[in-house]
Chain A
């Protein structure tokens, strides 16, 4: 069974730009969640989608948004990038809230 796939692996963007990250979950997993990982803040929950609906949202500004498609693939968008958005963005899929998360390798975003 293929694992969680995130693209791209690395991104370098300039302040003010926007970026879209993609995540393909494990087949059959309807829950897709996104996390931001930084050395200073650790793993922070961004949001979770289940069957195309955003079910949960962490404490991030509205510049961070996402969506999920009917095939469970998910995208995350960050608009008006700030230097502080530099981080490893991890996507995880699972069967549901109490199931283990299966993580992708992440997208390393650098904002200059």
Chain B
């Protein structure tokens, strides 16, 4: 069975602090895809990044960076110098190629990030 665990339910930081959101996944598949999404208070989830299981390169995009480690089944997300606009719920998700025509994407429970001015 596939599983995504985001152990941090809520994180509260002060603006300009760095913050890391953890994501641990479980799957027996060797080919899979990991995603991060952001859900601001307006409600619409926004795609941030995708990683496939064969690409362990870390990625940096502005203040955002992602650390993918297959050895620990983790795909962590770091925001450097956080800003109030980063306040949102962040979801980690796992999908994999259809098997017999079926697959079910799995989302973590989400981490609510609150950035105080």
Contact = CB atoms under 8 A, between A and B. Distances in A.
Most B CB contacts (10 A, CB to CB) among A35, A90, A97 go to A97
Q: Could you say which interface size class chain A belongs to?
A: 20 to 34
Interface of A: 33, 35, 42-43, 45, 55-56, 58, 88, 90, 92, 97-106
Interface string B19-52: 0000000000000010101000011111100101
B75 interface: no
A56 B103 contact: yes
Contacts of B97: 97-98
B73 to A, nearest CB: 19
B116 interface: no
Interface in B77-99: 91, 93, 95-98
B44 A98 contact: no
B102 A55 contact: yes
A43 B50 contact: no
8 contacts: A35-B107, A42-B109, A45-B106, A97-B96, A100-B35, A103-B44, A106-B43, A106-B44
B37 to A, nearest CB: 7
